[in-house]
Amino acid sequence: MLHCSMSYFCLAMLHLPNPSDARDWCNVQRQTGRSVGFVPTMGALHRGHESLVDRARIENDVCCASIFVNPLQFEDGQDFNAYPRDLNADLAVLEAHGCDMIFEGTLESFFPEVEDVRRIPMISAGPFGRGLEEVCRPGHLDGVRTIVDRLFRFVGPAKAYFGEKDFQQTLVVMDLAESLGYPDVIVCPTVREPSGLALSSRNALLSPDEKKEAERIFQSLAAAAKAWSSGIRHAHILREKMIEQFAGSRLIVEYAAVRNPSAWTADDPPGELSHAQALIAARLGRVRLIDNLQLH
């Protein structure tokens, strides 16, 4: 039965602990002619997530979100355990932004047909899973595609909203949506601090000093954008401009890359780029941060 904390017919946001209840609610919405906009998240919500919910609300009859820290996309148990969680604050944010329903779940409830959740059949991330994130976090994008596939099947959204901040993830998800024939995947711009630092749930794990240091990540992307504006089109030169920004930094760069997003399979394509996305991942102590910027 669907329920919320106040009463069955209350106007407050519905909070469902179980994906099968969410599926029932979404089915009712569709059967009554309402389009469902969907925002999948791992919680610890910030203004980046809020921007997705705001857009989903505007573009659909009803908006639902999920909060699930997906173990399938963490290759490191410590990182999974350290991931920030604050459900009460998240519920308040979602309600304030007019979300109609939010649901949670467990691996057992997302994959009821699997007897042992250690044996969930993983879906390959596909062609856009190659390189960058997959090299640094093997299996991460397979884990993303596996859970997003499941979320889409439970929710059946007309449109699903993802942040450009996780650029390679958006390519994998768009490829998944194309293979399923739905939903429309809407990629929303990265919300940043005034310094340029991309908002991230993981920023909550940084000290004020570390946050300042993390600004170099955006500075490196800005350096690539400046070089692009000055006419530089070679990936390796653009990458050197990015790396230069980390001289003397405590940040450890995992990758700094410039790729043509539509020719993703090519590693560092030789020659001149016509379209280019600068992408970076760096670690500051135990915190891993990623960001990217369109150059063309």
Mark the segment that binds ligand AMP (CB under 6 A) among 56-64, 183-191, 204-212, 214-222.
183-191
Question: Binding mask 46-85 vs ligand AMP (x if CB under 6 A, - otherwise)?
Answer: --xx-xx---------------------------------
Query: By C-beta, is 171 or 191 nearer to ligand AMP?
Result: 191
Rounded to the nearest whole angstrom, what is the least distance from the CB of residue 272 to ligand AMP in the complex?
A: 30
Tokens for 124, please give them.
């390959």
Q: Which residues of 106-141 are buried (b: 16+ CB within 10 A; e: fewer)?
A: ebebbbeeeeeeeebeebebbebbbbbbbeebebbb
- Residues with Cβ within 8 Å of residue 95, at least 6 apart in sequence: 12, 13
Considering only 166, 172, 205, 292, the residue that binds ligand AMP (CB under 6 A) is 166
Q: Quote the CA–CA distance of 161 and 184 in Å, as a whole number.
A: 9
Does 245 participate in binding ligand AMP (rule CB under 6 A)?
no
Single out the residue of 150, 165, 216, 241 in contact with ligand AMP (rule: CB under 6 A): 165
For the purposes of burial, counting CB atoms within 10 Å of the CB of 263, is it exposed (0-12), middle (13-18) or buried (19 or more)? Answer: exposed
Q: Pick the closer one to ligand AMP by CB: 170 or 245.
A: 170
CB of 25 to ligand AMP, least distance (A): 21
Instruction: Figure out which of the listed residues 19, 21, 41, 132 binds ligand AMP, where binding follows CB under 6 A.
Output: 41
Q: Find out whether 195 and 213 touch, Cβ atoms under 8 Å.
A: no
Joined tokens for residue 40: 């999948």
Which one of 60, 66, 146, 200 is in contact with ligand AMP (CB under 6 A)?
Answer: 200
- Out of 29, 60, 201, 292, which residue is the one contacting ligand AMP (CB under 6 A)? 201
Closest distance between ligand AMP and the C-beta of residue 209, in Å? 21
Cα–Cα dist 117/71, whole Å: 10
SS3 237: helix
Q: Which two tokens stand for residue 183?
A: 């939903």
Instruction: List the catalytic residues.
Output: 49
Q: Which residues bind ligand AMP (CB under 6 A)?
A: 41-42, 48-49, 51-52, 162-163, 165-166, 188, 190-191, 198-201
